[in-house]
């Protein structure tokens, strides 16, 4: 049964694969995350590492992507652990030639959040884990880009996010984003800063 399914999957992709070359993009950045929790301080971010990869032209213009943010250290002693994962399919129109590129289109997937923190009212160590729908639109080029996304909080209230991306003359990528609602109760919003490099393979 498994062999038949695998064979059918191979045949399906063989019939539908686009003649365009499959492109792989890897991004590795340091992250500073500010959940804007009750009585937060801007000099106490959650410091971590973000990895993101995207595959283009897997099936016509359809591809896939995934990202993960892993906490290394929290300068806010109320947050013990934080991890964020996104997995999505995308339909990006994309072009790449030498050092120039751009992508543009919609994506759809899921966002998984895992947090361990002290509740701002009870001071009790609390574990939060949730998986929610993720929708968005992205435009990106070698010099700048933006990302608009929609997801949900634990109580199913909408989370709207936006992100801007820039690259300096040394090739360092900077990303700054904000969402109108944080993942836990008491965080009215959150924002983040990423800085690092990206590579095409």
**Domain annotation for the chain: domains and CATH numbers:** 22-200 (2.40.160)
pLDDT in tens, the chain (201 residues): 545 555 554 444 454 455 568 889 999 999 999 988 888 888 889 999 999 999 998 888 899 999 999 999 999 888 999 999 999 999 998 888 877 888 999 999 999 999 999 888 888 899 999 999 999 999 999 999 999 999 998 888 999 999 999 999 899 999 999 999 988 878 889 999 999 999 888
- Left (φ > 0), alpha (ψ -120 to 50) or beta: where does 99 sit? alpha
pLDDT digits (tens, 9 = 90+) for 4-46: 555 554 444 454 455 568 889 999 999 999 988 888 888 889 9
Distance CA 182, CA 59 (A): 35
Contact 146, 165 (CB under 8 A): yes
Distance CA 30, CA 194 (A): 6
Contact 47, 31 (CB under 8 A): yes
For 166, the 3-state DSSP assignment is: strand
Helix and strand tally (H, E) in the chain? 1, 10
């Amino acid at each position: 049964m498994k062999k038949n399914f695998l064979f059918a999957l191979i045949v399906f992709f063989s019939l539908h694969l686009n003649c365009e070359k499959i492109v792989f993009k890897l991004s590795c950045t340091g992250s500073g995350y500010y959940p804007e929790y009750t009585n937060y301080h801007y000099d106490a971010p959650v410091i971590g590492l973000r990895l993101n990869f995207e595959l283009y032209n897997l099936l016509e213009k359809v591809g896939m992507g995934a990202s993960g943010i892993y906490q290394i250290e929290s300068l806010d002693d109320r947050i013990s652990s934080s991890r964020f994962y996104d997995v999505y399919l995308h339909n990006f129109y994309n072009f790449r030639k030498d050092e120039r590129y751009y992508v543009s289109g919609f994506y759809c997937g899921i966002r998984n959040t895992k947090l361990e923190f002290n509740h701002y009212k009870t001071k009790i160590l609390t574990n939060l884990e949730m998986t929610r729908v993720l929708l968005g639109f992205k435009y990106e080029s070698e010099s700048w880009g933006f990302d608009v996304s929609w997801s949900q909080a634990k109580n199913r209230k909408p989370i709207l996010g936006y992100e801007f991306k820039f690259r300096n003359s040394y090739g360092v990528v900077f990303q700054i984003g904000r969402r109108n609602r944080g993942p836990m109760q008491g965080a009215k919003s959150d924002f983040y800063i990423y800085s690092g490099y990206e590579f095409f393979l």
